[in-house]
Amino acid sequence: MIEARGLTKRFGSLRVLDGVDLVVPRGQITAIIGPNGSGKTTFNKSILGLVRPDGGELLFDGIPVNGDPGYRARIGYMPQSARFPENLCADEVVRLVLSIRGSSWRRDDELLRTFDLGPAMRTPVRLLSGGMRQRINAALAFLFYPELLILDEPTAGLDPVSSGVLKDKMRRERDAGRTLIVTSHVLSELEELADHIAFLLDGRVRFSGAPSQLRALTGEPTLERAIANLMRGAVPIRSVA
């Protein structure tokens, strides 16, 4: 669904993306992994249109992302830390988003129900805990049945029950044919969820393939140990898919 060809981006003298070639398969959960500063966030923001690459090509469903914002209506985005108007209640935030989108969109209220937000929906955002804000953040990302979901550290701050609810939702959306891009530093969680792994280091894709392929390449039993092996340079880094 997403294809990057030779994608580059600089911020001043810092090259953040250095010729990224990557295909994000349709209908799968793709985990983008890498240390801080590896280019994960810049890649995601390039898809969202929040960052304009300096070079290369970025395709959304085969169509170049060239400034036309129409494709972004097909994306659900869950940032790591959501920023809501502090004076609004949570239900007012939801109504605001609905009014911006318009009445023609189908609405998916599943997470609003299963998170059991209750009185929190009528509480000013500034008074909500970080975990409660994160639940609202997740519910908004899934609200319009997006074809592509980009989730940045989606379970950060969530209690185990809420984290399980969100991960089950992600699996159901994948099984329904939707495409998910997930970034997280919790590698055990990504191993549980991901169909496809893309490992970025210094702005380049150093591995792309299934988790089982990465474990076989490194000879390690877990994703966490396999990634550590790559970062230490214990095995050759290469893309297999």
- Return d(Cα 16, Cα 69) in angstroms, integer: 23
Q: What is the pLDDT of residues 140-191, one digit of tens each?
A: 999 999 999 999 999 999 999 999 999 999 999 999 999 999 999 889 899 9
Looking at residue 197, what is its pLDDT? 95
Cα–Cα distance list, 95 to 27, 103, 131 (Å): 29, 11, 21
Q: What residues contact residue 124 under an 8 Å CB cut-off, 6+ apart? A: 86, 87, 88, 89
Which tokens is 241 given? 């898919």
Q: At what angle do helices 160-175 and 130-141 cross, to 10 degrees?
A: 10
Which tokens is 16 given? 């953040």
> CB–CB of 139/113 below 8 Å?
no
Other beta carbons within 10 angstroms of residue 238's beta carbon come to: 11
CB-based burial label for 130 (10 Å; 0-12, 13-18, 19+): exposed
Maximum alpha-carbon separation in the chain: 54
- Return d(Cα 199, Cα 220) in angstroms, integer: 16
Domains of the chain, with CATH numbers? 2-232 (3.40.50.300)
> CB–CB of 65/58 below 8 Å?
yes
Cα–Cα distance list, 52 to 11, 44, 68, 122, 209 (Å): 11, 11, 12, 38, 26
Residue ranges in the chain assigned as alpha helix (H): 40-48, 90-101, 110-114, 130-141, 160-175, 187-193, 211-218, 223-232
- The ranges of the chain with pLDDT < 70 are 67, 234-241
